[in-house]
Amino acid sequence: MDYQFRFGALLRFTDEIVEGVLLTLQFSVVTMICGLIIGLLVAMASTGRVKALRVAARVYVESIRNTPLLVQLFIVFFGLPSIGIRLGANTAALIALSINMGAYGAEILRAGFESVRQSQVEAGRSLGLTVGQTFRHVVLYQAVKAIYPALASQFVLIMLATSVVSSIGATELFNKAAFIDSRTYLSFESYTLITLSYLVLTLGFRALFAAIYRLAFVRRAHR
């Protein structure tokens, strides 16, 4: 093989790569926040007393979790204009990612709340705590501790899934790789560099989340 690797030729695209990383992080953070809000509402509906809301929540969760993210993305970006709703690529990407995250977040949150034994809730109420105080002091900490690893993993998965939104022209890291490739024709170098960027981001966040877990839960439990 006489191919000459030319990674140095990509140095002039440093600004584009940095912009792609920042946009990917922005997509990930906004999606996680919006998805958890949606997930919380769906989790409350799925465990509530109103049957219609429980059924609607279950249909939503199962529909989203059992269909590809790419299809959901195309419905939002290409399908909604058919009924008069036109969205920009970045907006459509955020909406599709948030809807997808909401379904997974709902199941994670529901499992976290259900992991707290009812007897502990009743004990808190018997001590004179209000519903809000019982949730804050009894339920919340234990639920968050139980679901923290799943939420951390879901953030990483969402960050990696943002690469899919380049298919509709949303400007994130993978989109920048395609841009660099189109300007340099160095496909191997361009996508290898972006792969390494995703790897660094993933390992960095996993290390950060692990450190937060030790600080917030492990050390606190030993006090």
Residue 169 within a domain? yes
The H or E element that residue 3 is part of is none
> pTM of the predicted model, to two decimals?
0.87
AA letter at 139: V
Mean pLDDT of 151-164: 93
What CATH number does residue 52 fall under? 1.10.3720.10
Q: Give the per-residue pLDDT at 216.
A: 83
Residue 1 within a domain? no
Question: In Å, what is the CA distance from 85 to each residue of 25, 99, 197?
Answer: 27, 17, 35
Checking if the pLDDT of 122 tops 80, the result is: no
Residue 72 within a domain? yes
Total structural domains within the chain: 1
Q: Domain limits at 151?
A: 18-221
Q: Give the per-residue pLDDT at 152.
A: 94
Contact 172, 163 (CB under 8 A): yes
Reduced to 3 states, what is the DSSP secondary structure of residue 41?
A: helix
Q: DSSP string spanning 120-185?
A: HHHHHHHTT--HHHHIIIIIIHHHHHHHHHHHHHHHHHHHHHGGGGGGGT--SHHHHHHHHHHHH-
AA letter at 162: T
Residue 4 within a domain? no
> Which pLDDT tens digit goes with each residue over 40-50?
999 989 888 89
